[in-house]
Structure 1
Amino acid sequence: MIELNNTLNLNQAAEFLHCNSETVRRLAQSGQIPCGKIGRKWVFIQQDLEQYIRNQYSTPESVVQVVDNNEESLCQFTLETTSGGLNSPHQTEQEYDALLRLKTDSKR
């Protein structure tokens, strides 16, 4: 059996997303919102717009479950940048300065 998807035009999509139709057109043109263009008309599938909205939700930090010897504990995983070593901004700046330093000939 063929499953029918509810399609929306530009104005209907804007109403569905609760924003201006020009905003939806720009997002569609830049590829940020899934859509198709048939002739001069933008066509949106309602399920794709629903997924787009879900993707805009802010996500809390990832929580990973670790199971060890039948004991369950939660460990939080955070994306942190490290400093020091080769990633040190100070060291990188010194390396750039050394590379950019002009070489001068000794005076005659």
Structure 2
Amino acid sequence: MITADDIMTTDIAAHFLKLTPKALRRKAKAGQVPATIITGKWLFNKIDLIDWLRQNSTKQRTPILYLEQKPCLSKSVATSGGLDSHMMAKKYSDLLGLKTKPLHKNGTIN
């Protein structure tokens, strides 16, 4: 059910959409945004605007890459750095096809 709070004037709807009132009126007149004109004033239904935003969103959702992580069993180990961060960096480099230097297995430098 639509309430009075769901109906917005041009100024309020423009603020909601982060547009200027002039730009919003232009879009409403062109039929690019859901609106109704009553007694010479544009009115906007908040629910319709939210649906319109969802349908016209151009932002692509980027999948997040999750790499397998083993839980730390020691309470005295720092949460960052150490061998795991080197291994993680190697996995990222391998996935991105970057050339890297080989890791030393025993932690010493030759």
Q: TM-score with structure 1 length normalisation?
A: 0.50
The structure with the greater share of residues assigned to strand is: 1
Q: TM-score with structure 2 length normalisation?
A: 0.49
